Amino acid sequence: MLHFVTAVTLALQTSVADSSPFRALPLPAANRVRSASGAPGPDYWQQRADYVIRATLDTAGSVIRGTQRIHYANHSPDTLAFVWVQIEQNIFAQNSITYTLNQPPLHFAGGAVFDFTGKGFIGGITIERFATAGKELRRTAYGTMMRVELSRLLPPRGVIDFDVAWHFPVPPYGGGRMGRIGARLYEIGQWYPRLVVYDDVHGWNPLPYIGAGEFYLEYGDFDVSLTLPAGFVVAATGTVANPLVVWGPTARARLARARRSAERVQIITKAEAEANTGKRVPGTKTWRFTARNVRDFAWAASPDFRWDASSWSGILIQTFYRPGATPWEEANKMAWFTIKHFSETWGTYPWPHATTVEGLVEGMEYPMLTFVPSIEKREDQFWVLTHEFGHEWFPMLVGSDERRYPWMDEGFNTFIDYGSAEGYFRGTAYGDTVRRELLGAYRVSAVPGNEQPLIDRPVEQRDLAWAAYQKPALMLTILRDAVLGQEPFERALREYVRRWKFKHPQPADFFRTIENVSGKELDWFWREWVYTTARLDQAVDSVTQAGDTALVYLSNRAQMVLPVTLELRYADGTTETRRFPIEMWNLGSKFTARVGTAKPVAGVVVDPKEIYPDIDRANNQWGK
Ligand SMILES: [Zn+2]
């Protein structure tokens, strides 16, 4: 009783909110689906959608018509009365959110432009049929999302087949993610009705496709038949299932050679591509592709392609490009290096080929297939190639929710891209300094009052390049170099990939995995970098020395906490580096570093290698 009274009295007198930077981050409670360790729990489930698609490209009107069967398996514990379906071509319909708001493209520091519209093209998808067991289902389209009422409830462990027929006109410019050049090159994505993800966190996830905010998709198998004019060559997600029909004996022999070659083999040479361009081949040809365990399917087709191929560790690496795209002679080597580097560093590439197509799309990723433009500067060409292939790890392999959390997709990918660029250009000025760009971007974009936390949704980000790409890459670089160390960091990120491949992680699953595997409590770090725009200002206030001990008075003057690296310069000209772990700030924003040394200290520098985005470097030095 006495104890109780004392506690109440104390609480009344000294009520203090917990403002410690180390207070717990309020994450969703762990459960049997998502465990406290960050791994999928014993009851983890996700839905499955398998697709059989037959589509025809009519080049005269640039219209694609398709029929498809979707086999949908309900692995959830819930009974479903309706399903949500994505019909993204409706972003180009007159009444779409994107067109109604008529917003200009997003412009970013550095010149990047994100135009998510069709640049005036009016299109949209027509759903001719959506049926099950021969019965049309009632459906309502809401822009890029469609709700379909089931004629019978779908119970847990139930399966249902949907028969769908549709057509849409191909936009010349498809929001930067698809499109065509006349009737000579088609790069096709967001083209068939896809099931919306139903998960344990939000149930259905029918967030509209507005432009910013990419895709969140179920895994499944695909069997896709594409009928095109006979002169077209097709590259797609999936393996060609009818090679004797679609490839001639020369192409097949060269491909067989490419499967044993680390160097590019030319499957269609420049001269052959140029000869093909002048030819008119009558009739049509049907290409059949099969793909296992992918979350999407895309394809590209042209009668003009050059085609190079090589292989690494049984993975066929292919580059398709127009004869005019000269820098693309090296693209196959860049792609080969990229697939090898990411496989060895973060987890093996799991599919039979990795293919990229040069064309009008500024850079876009699909399973096994990327769209990349031809870029004059070699370093920039490598960057976009390696970036789009980096997406095969995030989000193709680790299937996160891009519509909500682009930093887990673009951001993690941008981080690994720096490692790839450093590897490919090792020993050059570019390779040795490219990661410094991130601190430059910090100075330009992390402006107080403008900067938004990266947890904000992508459609609300005014500087998507910073919040979705560069800041999370800087975050992971600092986590690796200053907080965890390279080996523990890489082990933890690899484990995240291993745990969540072909699955749907949430932010908390990532945070918990990194903390559990590295052994470090990091709530403070995630709060600073993900949930706030905290800034860093580490300072050395003064230095005193008595006997064989120097006292370095340090202070943390802004909201962000990070470990401190000190460089001590002695009177005899020698230097020494001391590192202080994050626990130095446990008792507040002042810390006295005791350095045992008999030598007189002449100067001190905080963060001597300048790896931090410290907002005031003038107070990082003390010197006599
Ligand atoms: Zn990207």
Strands 315-321 vs 353-358: parallel, antiparallel or unpaired: parallel
Going from the Cα of 313 to the center of ligand 1, the distance in angstroms, rounded, reads 25
- What is the side-by-side strand order in the sheet with 126-132? 135-136, 126-132, 159-169, 63-73, 48-58, 220-229, 284-294, 239-240
Going from the Cα of 388 to the center of ligand 1, the distance in angstroms, rounded, reads 6
Which residues line ion ligand 1, judged by CB < 5 Å?
410
Going from the Cα of 182 to the center of ligand 1, the distance in angstroms, rounded, reads 26
Look-up: residue for tokens 């064989």?
Answer: 548
Contact 55/65 with Cβ under 8 angstroms? yes
- Please tell me the distance from the alpha carbon of residue 189 to that of residue 357, in angstroms, as a whole number: 13
Question: Across the chain, which distance is largest between two alpha carbons, in Å?
Answer: 97
Give the pLDDT confidence score for residue 178 in this predicted structure: 97
Going from the Cα of 389 to the center of ligand 1, the distance in angstroms, rounded, reads 9
Going from the Cα of 386 to the center of ligand 1, the distance in angstroms, rounded, reads 10
- Residues in Cβ contact with 29 at an 8 Å cutoff, skipping those fewer than 6 apart: none
Going from the Cα of 406 to the center of ligand 1, the distance in angstroms, rounded, reads 9
Distances (CA, A) of 247 to 187, 277, 288, 351: 20, 17, 12, 21
Going from the Cα of 246 to the center of ligand 1, the distance in angstroms, rounded, reads 32
Give the pLDDT confidence score for residue 112 in this predicted structure: 76
Q: Determine how many CB atoms are found less than 10 A away from the CB of residue 595.
A: 17
The full 3-state SS of 225-237, as one line of letters, equals EEEEECCCEEEEC
Going from the Cα of 30 to the center of ligand 1, the distance in angstroms, rounded, reads 30
pLDDT tens, position by position, 376-404: 999 999 999 999 999 999 999 999 999 99
Strands 220-229 vs 48-58: parallel, antiparallel or unpaired: parallel
Going from the Cα of 3 to the center of ligand 1, the distance in angstroms, rounded, reads 58
- Please tell me the distance from the alpha carbon of residue 232 to that of residue 228, in angstroms, as a whole number: 7
Which conformational region is residue 22 in: left (phi greater than 0), alpha (psi within -120 to 50 degrees), or beta?
alpha
Going from the Cα of 243 to the center of ligand 1, the distance in angstroms, rounded, reads 32
Q: What are phi and psi of 566, to 5 degrees?
A: -115, 135
Q: What are phi and psi of 302, to 5 degrees?
A: -160, 150
Going from the Cα of 169 to the center of ligand 1, the distance in angstroms, rounded, reads 26
Going from the Cα of 409 to the center of ligand 1, the distance in angstroms, rounded, reads 7
Give the pLDDT confidence score for residue 13 in this predicted structure: 62
Look-up: residue for tokens 């910090």?
Answer: 442
Going from the Cα of 384 to the center of ligand 1, the distance in angstroms, rounded, reads 9
Going from the Cα of 390 to the center of ligand 1, the distance in angstroms, rounded, reads 8
Distance of CA 2 to the CA centre of its chain: 57
- Please tell me the distance from the alpha carbon of residue 107 to that of residue 394, in angstroms, as a whole number: 24
Contact 73/138 with Cβ under 8 angstroms? no
Contact 81/109 with Cβ under 8 angstroms? no
pLDDT tens, position by position, 87-113: 999 999 999 999 999 888 888 766 778
Going from the Cα of 34 to the center of ligand 1, the distance in angstroms, rounded, reads 27
User: How big, in percent rounded to 5, are the helix, strand and coil portions of the chain?
Assistant: 30, 30, 40
- Please tell me the distance from the alpha carbon of residue 191 to that of residue 254, in angstroms, as a whole number: 31
The pTM assigned to this predicted structure is 0.96
Number of helices followed by number of strands (H, E) in the chain: 15, 33
Going from the Cα of 468 to the center of ligand 1, the distance in angstroms, rounded, reads 9
For residue 146, what is the DSSP state?
E
Residues lower than pLDDT 70 in the chain: 1-14, 109-110
Look-up: residue for tokens 């398998």?
Answer: 50
- Residues in Cβ contact with 235 at an 8 Å cutoff, skipping those fewer than 6 apart: 299, 300, 301, 305, 318, 320, 355, 357, 369
